[in-house]
Amino acid sequence: MAEFALIESIRTRCAVARDDVRLGIGDDAALLAVPSGWLLAVSTDTFVCGVHFLPDTAASDIGWKALAVNLSDLAAMGAEPAWAMLALTLPSADARWVEGFADGFAELARKHRVALVGGDTTQGPMSITVTIHGFVPPGAALTRAGARVGDGVYVTGTLGDAAAALSKTQSKSACDPQLLERLHRPTPRISQGSILRGRATSCIDVSDGLVADLGHICAASGVGAEIDADTLPASPALIAAFAAADRRAFQLASGDDYELCFTAPDAIATGLLRDLADSGCAAMRIGRIVAGADVQVRDANGSPLALPRSGWEHFA
Ligand code: ADP
Ligand code: MG
């Protein structure tokens, strides 16, 4: 299958109609209309075989996750998703792989009405780059920079499932399908990001590990944070699969959960938590913002815990 047949196969599988796409795939550039009065939020993420996914991962799961991690970045800004670009580098023109990839991508794209509006298709070692575009009202975006001393620190959903699944996969052990689903098909917290927009004081998605990502909030906001290790939300599947010490290490230091970590003052916390719970993804208070510069983890007695290891970093 030649380049243009691959592109056509992707285009038909990923078709999502949107009025703001004035010209989509097929010309030298897409023509897109940003709604007046909104800001364009843009983010990109690259997936490299062997680094971000194992070589035997299903093509449809790779397609889902390549879009999911990008949508998660928009969620963390409180943005509404709209358009995606897809740069695919493939070792060969494997039509079945591309169809599977496009089907997984399209399944998630349809859930969020994301139109694929262009991209590039080239030959080389497998690498996938998605660029996502969304909209956010001026002044309401969630950034990493607004956390204030006294704010609570919260996280949506549960932490550690993806790392648990990866650990089981790498040791070739049996793994609960619910954990595998969290690794291969993460749920971007788009509607929760919209709920937080204009209300949370800061937000980040947990892609590299809670301590590392909350550390980014602290650095950008000029504050420190304390996490109560015993309050970290864990899924029943994670509790069944790993003892407390492993669980805690996954929850604190491993990435790939794509939950939202955010800060909010106590005065608005009750309403915010109720709205999040109503959205189908509750958030839990896991700590607080303090004066200082780094993230400390405390046990049930309030004593500091040594951190298992730091979050994921390329070139480290
Ligand atoms: P050009 O040579 O002008 O860069 P291409 O031949 O690379 O154009 O692409 C033709 C059209 O197909 C363009 O509209 C481009 O955005 C789109 N396209 C190419 N690859 C992909 C892809 N992997 N996913 C979505 N659209 C793609
Ligand atoms: Mg091109």
Whole-number Å distance, alpha carbon 174 to ligand 2 midpoint, is 42
d(CA 253, CA 163) in angstroms, rounded, equals 9
123, 255: one domain: no
108, 175: one domain: no
Would you put residue 195 in left (φ > 0), alpha (ψ -120 to 50) or beta? Answer: alpha
274, 168: one domain: yes
> What is the predicted pLDDT for the residue at 311?
56
180, 113: one domain: no
Q: Which two tokens stand for residue 212?
A: 């590392």
117, 216: one domain: no
Would you say the CB of residue 241 lies under 6 angstroms from ligand 1? Answer: no
Would you say the CB of residue 102 lies under 6 angstroms from ligand 1? Answer: no
> What is the predicted pLDDT for the residue at 53?
85
Look at ligand 1, atom 3, and give the residue with the nearest C-alpha: 28
Determine, yes or no, domain membership for 307.
Answer: no
104, 190: one domain: no
Exposure string of 31-44, with b = 16+ CB inside 10 Å and e = fewer, is ebeeeeebbebbbe
166, 59: one domain: no
Determine, yes or no, domain membership for 309.
Answer: no
d(CA 203, CA 216) in angstroms, rounded, equals 10
d(CA 205, CA 69) in angstroms, rounded, equals 9
Determine, yes or no, domain membership for 303.
Answer: no
What single string gives the DSSP state of each residue in 131-183?
EEEEEE-TT----SS---TT-EEEEES-SSHHHHHHHHHHTT----HHHHHHH
> What is the predicted pLDDT for the residue at 74?
98
Strands 152-156 and 283-290: antiparallel
Structural domain tally of the chain?
2
The CATH number linked to 264 is: 3.90.650.10
18, 92: one domain: yes
Whole-number Å distance, alpha carbon 118 to ligand 1 midpoint, is 6
101, 162: one domain: no
The CATH number linked to 115 is: 3.30.1330.10
Range of the domain at 185: 152-298
Q: Among 11, 16, 25, which residue has the most ligand 1 atoms within 8 Å of its CB, making it the best to mutate? A: 25
d(CA 284, CA 9) in angstroms, rounded, equals 42
158, 82: one domain: no
Determine, yes or no, domain membership for 280.
Answer: yes
d(CA 106, CA 115) in angstroms, rounded, equals 9
43, 118: one domain: yes
Question: For residue 288, how many other CB atoms are within 10 A of its CB?
Answer: 17
115, 158: one domain: no
Q: Which atom of ligand 1 is nearest to the CA of 25?
A: 14
Tens of pLDDT, residue by residue, the chain (316 residues): 588 999 999 999 999 999 999 999 999 999 999 999 999 999 999 999 888 888 889 999 999 999 999 999 999 999 999 999 999 999 999 999 999 999 999 999 999 999 999 999 999 999 999 999 999 999 999 999 999 999 999 999 999 999 999 999 999 999 999 999 999 999 999 999 999 999 999 999 999 999 999 999 999 999 999 999 999 999 999 999 999 999 999 999 988 999 999 999 999 999 999 999 999 999 999 999 999 999 999 998 989 988 765 555 655 5
> What is the predicted pLDDT for the residue at 310?
55
Would you say the CB of residue 121 lies under 6 angstroms from ligand 1? Answer: yes
Determine, yes or no, domain membership for 147.
Answer: no
Determine, yes or no, domain membership for 310.
Answer: no
> What is the predicted pLDDT for the residue at 20?
98
Determine, yes or no, domain membership for 145.
Answer: no
> What is the predicted pLDDT for the residue at 55?
82
Whole-number Å distance, alpha carbon 120 to ligand 1 midpoint, is 5
